[in-house]
Structure 1
Amino acid sequence: MAILGFLMIGTFLYLVMTKRVSVLIAFALVPIVFGLIGGFRLEMGEMMLEGVQKVTPTGIMIGFSILYFGLMIDRGLFDPMISRLIRFAKGDPLKIVMATAIITLIVALDGDGSATFMITITALLPVYKRLGMNPLILASTVALGAGVMNIIPWGGPLARAMVSLDATSSQLFNPIIPSMLAGMAWVVFVSYVLGKKERKRLGVVQWTNHHGKNAEEETAAALDMPATGLPKMFWFNLILTVVLITVLIMELMPVPVLFILAFALALIVNFPDVNRQNEQIAAHAKSMVLVCFTIFAAGIFTGVLSGTKMLDAMAVSMVSIIPDWMGPHLPTLIAVISMPLSLVFSPDAFYYGVLPILSESAASFGIDPLDIGRAALLGNATTGFPLSPLNPSVFVLLGLCKVDLGDLQKSVFFWAFGTTIVMTVIALITGAISL
């Protein structure tokens, strides 16, 4: 059974990484083939259904979070903060880069890497061009900010970890909130270092006044944003979002239900007209459907992997080759190597294929499998995702900034790895993962 399980995961990884089939198809069909080979023809239907049922709350949470934050971005919730940060920075490259980091950390709350890249790069690239700043600095800063923010519960990695470990978002996310905050602080620090280099190279550049415009108006024009005023429904949307995040962290109600209610309330208040409501849903329906369907298909994969006992057999075989002295330190080891592993495994391949084996192996050493999940989240497909060619959204970042992947990797790898190390240290101090 262990050999069959490794072959199943290996086939899945091969098909996904070589792009022979889509992730959804690989999730649905590969386990069926190997389940039949293992002689589980009659039992597989129940295994697959049980797997899908387990991931349903996660699919609901992710789907409605995409709709909710898509609505908030469309309604301009983050626009005033972005414009004010840039106006404050004016012509100082150091302030511009630091503002870039803060803006990215805010915009990345939507949990969608591609959307984060499109919003931040589109807004800030004109400013970088106007000042003659290096677009690689923009790409690097945005990559670092988006990476650490990808830990949020409605982001991809944590959702995948929840599915693989049959865990809740509060079990995985809440203990590493201090680590995430430390990672955010590290990103701002790195933006200071990068910005200082740009200031040294360029100096403080003054906006040129055209047609009598002052510096603030020039900046607003460069960003294509209004100089004054707030978007419609700004205060309602801000308060609703703050309450949503607060209730989520306090676990006052199930997260999937929370997002359904928040989105329904936001939709009816922002768009009283039914036709406008339908248009808003349709605007983000494609990304919602793709993500949710993939999660449901992943339930088939994990259901067969667990139900056939392949996972248990693989864990036993892996434990046999792990030195006894290393076993108790698996969480720390996985946390440290999690970021580089992003360059080797796609998020689906790691969280659905590798993480279950690692967590089962750790359990045999008396380690809570959730420790392994938290350790993986400190780097794999989080701080490392903007550098991996296995993440399609990375090419959105590269295309908008017109920089090469190799250049981005050389610029960011050291700093991104530093983010993981900082978060790992805090996780060890707070007890989120065991030493």
Structure 2
Amino acid sequence: MIIRSAKVIVTCPGRNFVTLKLETDEGISGIGDATLNGREMSVVAYLEEYILPALIGKDPQRIEDIWQYLYRGAYWRRGPVTMTAIAAVDVALWDIKAKVAGMPLYQLLGGKSREKVMVYSHATGLDIDSCLNEVRKKVELGYKAVRVQCGIPGLAATYGVAKVPGQPYEPADSRLPAEHVWSTEKYLNHVPSLFAAVRKEFGDDLLLLHDVHHRLTPIQAARLGKEIEPYHLFWLEDCVPAENQASFELIRRHTTTPLAVGEVFNSLHDCHELIQKQLIDYIRAPLSHAGGITNVRRIADFAAIFHVKTGFHGATDLSPVCMGAALHFDSWIPNFGIQEHMPHSEETDRVFPHAYKFSGGFFTPGEVPGHGVDINEELAAKYPYNPAQLPVNRLEDGTLWNW
């Protein structure tokens, strides 16, 4: 068996997705997610110019060898573009291998470690009251865990908060980056009151999560973690930029609030120190940005040694292909923690028919061979690429800040 053809499919059923499709000479195909939000076409170019020509004629079942060829064989290693491209190839190859075996993907990884996968959803509001209404809707749908974000008084826009209550949050909304204004002081003064209100309304059983989105310094993050300790969050996510892994040592000294990080990571080198020193509790590197199943399995196995669990990124800036593969991985991985879930639009679900199913706050990956997600190429062609970039942040005095 050899790879006979490879192509990249770009589609925009409400938002942009990049999909790699590999096909063998025996007619078996596999697909992988190559979406990099706001930088989609950079991955397209990397795949089409450098990777796909090298794949033709290779044995698709030699997944490890192909992974090493694409990683070690490139002098310019790592980085989000390279690792997203490698991830797309890797997931497509695992899809093919599972189809050849006639098994759902989780069986090839070692079989199930659990019967269902707990996910968390997002609840956002322009203020605390509207946020509580959105939390209520998620609870009524059966979610056991909810990420809670609300508007900050005095700021026109806040990360994670939909412009229209109840509508999906999509930050990449303009051809050139929009500019948002940020105030750390206003944010820190307001967030504890949000979680006080949520706990008062919903009690202690609901699992609560919150994303800071890299906005704080280590000592500010330590303050926030300490002040929200009475509300027992499941995790506090991305509280500081993680380039300096030692930053988490200061945070850890001041708070027992669990810490999660990693959606922008693309290799074990990005989080080796965080994991080994047990400075975090959850690693969030997604399959589609961290080199695929082959590489993320290495990260997860290393994390397990140090009591760190997985909590993979799963926003709508990843396609259903990534979600399907992640759910198989989640079903197998012994140190699973939780899986993020933002529902895709009906348009997206029609373009990407899938076997995975949601019920009562949990997902099951489906029992079809492969990762259980396909792409309707004819329908995908009806949604052309629509350039859209993520915003940038400035402090109130105009200083550029972390978005």
TM-score bracket for the superposition, by shorter chain length: under 0.3
Higher helix fraction (1 or 2): 1
Higher strand share: 2
TM-score (norm: length of structure 1): 0.25
Return the structure number with greater relative CO, CA threshold 8 A, min gap 6. Answer: 1
